[in-house]
Amino acid sequence: MIRVTVWNENFHEKADPKIAAIYPDGIHGAIAEGLSEYSEFEVRTATLDMPECGLDDDTLNNTDVLIWWGHCRHKDIPDEIAEKVRLRVLDGMGLIVLHSSHMSKPFLRLMGTICRLKWRENDETERIWVIDPGHPIANGLPEFIEIEQEETYGERFEIPNPDELVFISWFSGGEVFRSGCCFRRGLGKIFYFRPGHEAYPIYYRKDIRKIIANAVSWAKPSCGPRPTLGHFPVPLENIRIVDHSDEYHP
């Protein structure tokens, strides 16, 4: 079972009746609904207006993959909570960063860059090309996905070079954008996925939900060995290694 927490500012849905009509249960609710179709996911939601922004120690320590949607309230996340998220990722928690969450505090801290980009609000078409069809996040997808109306993002996207690039978007206004980027930080995996402007019902689409579900499965913590760090008083050659591999049940 993969324990997933879907985090959302939950601001636009309360402040704008038009957004509330699109996402009556919040963007987090729509994403959680899509994930609930998969029996291997245990899904909870958290929002900015909850105590400790919904990211208390118990929640973070019992989250395998954190999904983050933010837009205009990035600065309202206390630095200490952003740091807790960063440390949990370094310790193995997966992080999926959606749309304008490229400016969220946890993502900025994990990237170490300013993460700026070009953008334009409009109703233009976005075509998301799968450029790494063998990647697990692209499993079960067509060669490209076309979204009839979306907000436009454009290069240059000031992030480190992704460890893996799964998707590139083309927009009918002419822009292109690295829209599906994978990173590894410490023991954790991070996936940035571009679509999801709040004014469009993106998170009800089956193909978008499929990508997010694939990303959760990819970003889950590894069952590999955890390295021992710090003072190691006994020489490694003096340690007797016992093989218990036949006793391991993930």
For residue 237, the model assigns a pLDDT of 78
What angle is formed at CA 138 by the lines to CA 137 and CA 143, rounded to 5 degrees? 160
For residue 250, the model assigns a pLDDT of 47
For residue 242, the model assigns a pLDDT of 62
Buried b (16+ CB within 10 A) or exposed e, 115-132: bebeeeeeebebebebee
For residue 142, the model assigns a pLDDT of 98
For residue 54, the model assigns a pLDDT of 98
- Per-residue pLDDT 10s for the chain (250 aa) are 999 999 999 999 999 999 999 999 999 999 999 999 999 999 999 999 999 999 999 999 999 999 999 999 999 999 999 999 999 999 999 999 999 999 999 999 999 999 999 999 989 999 999 999 999 999 999 999 999 999 999 999 999 999 999 999 999 999 999 999 999 999 999 999 999 999 999 999 999 999 999 999 999 999 888 777 788 777 867 766 666 555 544 4
For residue 215, the model assigns a pLDDT of 98
Task: Identify the structural domains of the chain with CATH numbers, from first to last.
Answer: 2-223 (3.40.50.880)
